[in-house]
Structure 1
Amino acid sequence: MSSESGSDDVRVWLVERGYNNRDLIILTYATPDGARAFRREIAAQAIDMDTVTAARDVSPDDLATVEDADDRERYAEEATRMAAEHDPDETI
């Protein structure tokens, strides 16, 4: 991450990858407890091999609360699995 990355940043793990009808790839990263998530949209044409990593460090201001209990549970399970199986900077 950048050298300006502060110690207040929160590590989030890739928990979901989707596509929409505008040719965007939607990446969802979540905290290990699944309670907060960071969503990123990337044009399919703009994505390259090292754009999508197992984890990111993001500002707490960029995290949204995950309201749905089922989503929180699913995100927590996937974030835990990703953290156990992948290095944070590993391309996924």
Structure 2
Amino acid sequence: MSDGETETVRVWLVERTYSDDEQNLIILTYATTDGDRYFRKERALTSFTDARETTAAVDAAPENLGTVGDHDRRTQYADEARRMASVHDPDDVI
């Protein structure tokens, strides 16, 4: 890896939820295939015609990943991340 490159971790979409606190806020949760780490992305929809795409996977900087502490959630994330990785290319729009 050259000096200008940053190592990233591929994470797969495991959950899409809508915020209870704020209208028009979608929370996308991506996780590693072992379910140990996650990346959360919040997206505010500015209009009904807002057409930003959500991909099956993203590459995140390690320092932006959280640790999944709950065993059941880790298992859930691992199962879903592996399923997504087996049926989608990372750039597939979900």
1:31 paired residue number: 32
Query: For structure 1, which runs of at least 5 residues remain unmatched after alignment?
Result: none
| Larger Rg, first or second structure (1 or 2) | 2
Q: Percent identity?
A: 54
* C-alpha distance 70-58 of structure 1, shift in aligned 2 (>3 A): same
The CA deviation at 1:44 is 2.4
Runs of 4+ residues over 3 Å off in structure 1:
none
TM-score for the superposition, normalised by structure 1: 0.87
* SS of residue in 2 equivalent to 1:41: strand
Query: For structure 2, which runs of at least 5 residues remain unmatched after alignment?
Result: none
TM-score for the superposition, normalised by structure 2: 0.86
1:5-84 aligned at under 5 Å gives the runs 6=6, 8-21=7-20, 22-23=22-23, 24-45=25-46, 47-50=50-53, 52-84=54-86
| Alignment: residue pair count | 87
The CA deviation at 1:49 is 4.3
